């Protein structure tokens, strides 16, 4: 039998090794952290803290799936530690298991988090899952416990912005910048709120930061986009375009985006079989709002969400994730050619049911709900095979405003499906592929299930287009749908500020301010048949006919 002194010595050794592993991890000395954690396991046996360190190392190396498995072992040893459940929830999100991330996040809160990082981690998970009001509370707790962490304040600001608390968002962003002036995403986010919330001296500060120091893609993107926004606010459009090009140049070179890969994905999406054997899942609850980004999808989502029978679920990847799972295709991409092709061989009834079941954590048993993932336009055929009574609403917008708005947008760098937007030329080519696919859907999908609606038409005739939209979705008329901007629901998109205002027309024809810079895009779109010789939009026939 071991004597007390021997046990104490072993515990001391374990504590020292774990402390060393934690310190090495904090300093990003991953090999040292791994060695110390493994020494604990090899000499002391299973130890939850050692597994936790190994899981965090796996996360840092981009292996979230492995990290989740390691965290399962830590939880088995210490099931009441909120940290383990919180980080497991975040890992599950990374590997597209939202269905498991929800209960993991709830379990973390049930265990009672004790440190700021755990509150912040659960807040990030809930933000990704669309629970923004709950996330705000968690981020507020995180900054109260650790008021010196700039990233915690940034997360708080973003969550407040999504929830429409713009004054509070600005305060959080400014505090993040005070703590860490090099947290450039906070500066970019502050500028996105508009001049009412900014600092008159901010532009000079950002320009100096851009021109000095070591260039980095992340820095250039955030500062360049912020400076472009400030130039555009004062109507200096040539300067705004120059900043956009500067912002994207380094990241574009690093990515080496190949438009041919986009073409292959679109081609796979358009290969629709003549018949589908499965009957699909019988529900009319989902309304899919799709289209290219920055074309009014958030606006239509808010209009529908103002209806008393409709719950907004946000931008969900659930359909593509469930189809990928049933198709069994390899790789981490849910929107790739093999998955789109193999997707026609799945049990569509099972796919439809799996999709609906996966949304219950967000919408419960709501009579109807919207799924506003723009890129679901790729899956429109699969969606109506799996959910034949669902409705799809596809947003269209003037091609030049669409291309410009995509180029102006700072998309999440981790979301590779939008990599085309680092180049105007690539964006134009992507738009043409999108337009061709929409022609396929117009020909192949039932008109009472797939509808195109034009952003400019909504601006010109809000009530008329709203009535047409509600009719397509099988919803009765409610006046509240005209007052969509009065909703309190959170908006986790680039339109979080705009959709809290009544309809405005300032975005219509914005491309005209950038005509000179867009000349190559105009030529490409004319060649592709979406603009005529005079540069006028050749509108989709179905969308034009539906209005008459």
Q: What is the pLDDT of residues 325-360, one digit of tens each?
A: 999 999 888 999 999 999 999 999 999 999 999 998
- Whole-angstrom Cα distance, residue 506 to residue 230? 16
Closest by CA position to 396, among listed 336, 330, 441: 441
| Architecture of the domain defined by 261-399+440-503 | 3-Layer(aba) Sandwich (3.40)
The structural domains of the chain, with segments of one domain joined by +, span 147-255, 261-399+440-503
pLDDT in tens, 399-429: 999 999 999 999 988 889 999 999 999 999 9
- Whole-angstrom Cα distance, residue 7 to residue 208? 59
- Whole-angstrom Cα distance, residue 281 to residue 201? 57
Region 480-504: mean pLDDT is 65
Fold of 147-255: 1.25.40
- Whole-angstrom Cα distance, residue 374 to residue 494? 13
DSSP 236-300: -HHHHHHHHHHHHHHHHHHHT--HHHHHHHHHHHH---S-----------EEEEEESTTSSHHHH
pLDDT at 484: 86
Supply the pTM of this predicted model.
0.88
| Residue 452 to residues 255, 295, 439, Cα–Cα distance (Å) | 33, 12, 11
pLDDT at 9: 46
Residue 495 has pLDDT above 90, yes or no: no
The 8-class DSSP code of residue 112 comes to -
Query: 6 falls in which pLDDT band (50, 70, 90)?
Result: very low
pLDDT in tens, 102-129: 999 999 999 999 999 999 999 999 999 8
Residue 499 has pLDDT above 70, yes or no: no
pLDDT at 179: 97
**Residue 328 class from Cβ within 10 Å (0-12 exposed, 13-18 middle, 19+ buried)?**
exposed
pLDDT at 424: 97
- Cα angle 137-198-230, degrees, rounded to a multiple of 5: 125
pLDDT in tens, 275-312: 776 789 999 999 999 999 999 999 999 999 999 999 99
3-state secondary structure of 310: strand
- Whole-angstrom Cα distance, residue 514 to residue 381? 36
pLDDT in tens, 205-252: 899 999 887 889 999 999 999 999 999 999 999 999 999 999 999 999
Q: Which residues pair with 531 in a beta bridge?
A: 537
């Amino acid at each position: 039998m071991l004597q007390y002194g021997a046990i104490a010595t072993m515990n001391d050794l374990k504590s020292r090794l774990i402390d060393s592993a934690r310190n090495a991890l904090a300093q990003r000395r991953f090999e040292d952290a791994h060695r110390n954690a493994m020494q604990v396991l090899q000499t002391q046996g299973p130890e939850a803290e050692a597994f936790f360190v190994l899981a965090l190392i796996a996360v840092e190396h981009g292996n979230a799936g492995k990290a989740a498995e390691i965290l399962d072992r830590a939880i088995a040893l210490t099931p009441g530690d909120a940290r383990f459940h919180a980080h497991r929830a975040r890992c599950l999100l990374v590997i597209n298991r939202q269905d498991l991330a929800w209960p993991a996040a709830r379990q973390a809160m049930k265990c009672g988090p004790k440190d700021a990082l755990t509150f912040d981690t659960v807040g990030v998970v809930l933000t990704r899952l669309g629970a923004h009001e709950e996330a705000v509370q968690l981020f507020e707790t995180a900054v109260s416990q650790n008021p010196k962490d700039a990233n915690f304040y940034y997360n708080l600001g973003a969550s407040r912005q999504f929830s429409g608390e713009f004054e509070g968002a600005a305060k959080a962003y400014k505090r993040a910048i005070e703590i860490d002036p090099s947290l450039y995403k906070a500066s970019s986010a502050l500028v996105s709120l508009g001049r009412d919330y900014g600092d008159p001296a901010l532009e000079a500060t950002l320009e100096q930061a851009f021109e000095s120091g070591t260039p980095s893609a992340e820095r250039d993107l955030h500062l360049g986009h912020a400076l472009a926004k400030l130039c555009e606010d004062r109507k200096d459009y040539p300067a705004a375009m120059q900043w956009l090009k500067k912002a994207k140049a380094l990241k574009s070179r690093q990515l080496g985006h190949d438009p041919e890969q986009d073409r292959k994905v679109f081609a796979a999406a358009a290969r629709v079989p003549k018949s589908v054997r499965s009957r699909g899942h019988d529900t009319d609850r989902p309304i899919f709002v799709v289209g290219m980004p920055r074309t009014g999808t958030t606006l239509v989502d808010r209009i529908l969400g103002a209806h008393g029978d409709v719950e907004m679920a946000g931008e969900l990847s659930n359909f593509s994730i469930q189809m990928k799972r049933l198709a069994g295709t390899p790789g981490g991409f849910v929107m790739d050619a093999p998955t789109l092709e193999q997707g026609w061989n799945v049990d569509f009834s099972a796919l439809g049911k799996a999709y609906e079941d996966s949304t219950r954590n967000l919408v419960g048993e709501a009579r109807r709900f919207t799924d506003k993932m723009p890129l679901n336009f790729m899956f429109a055929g699969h969606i109506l095979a799996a959910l034949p009574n669902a409705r799809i609403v596809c947003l269209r917008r003037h091609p030049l405003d669409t291309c410009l708005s995509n180029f102006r947008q700072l998309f999440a760098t981790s979301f590779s499906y939008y990599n085309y937007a680092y180049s105007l030329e690539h964006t134009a080519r992507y738009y043409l592929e999108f337009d061709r696919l929409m022609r396929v859907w117009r020909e192949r999908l039932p008109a009472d299930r797939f509808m195109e609606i034009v952003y400019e038409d909504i601006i010109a005739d809000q009530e008329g287009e709203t009535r047409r939209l509600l009719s397509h979705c099988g919803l009765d008329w409610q006046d509240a749908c005209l007052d969509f901007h009065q909703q309190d629901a959170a908006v986790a998109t680039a339109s979080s500020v705009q959709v809290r205002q009544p309809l405005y027309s300032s975005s219509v024809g914005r491309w005209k301010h950038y005509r000179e810079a867009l000349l190559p895009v105009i030529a490409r779109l004319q060649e592709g048949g979406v603009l005529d010789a005079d540069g006028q939009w050749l509108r989709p026939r179905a969308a034009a006919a539906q209005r008459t």
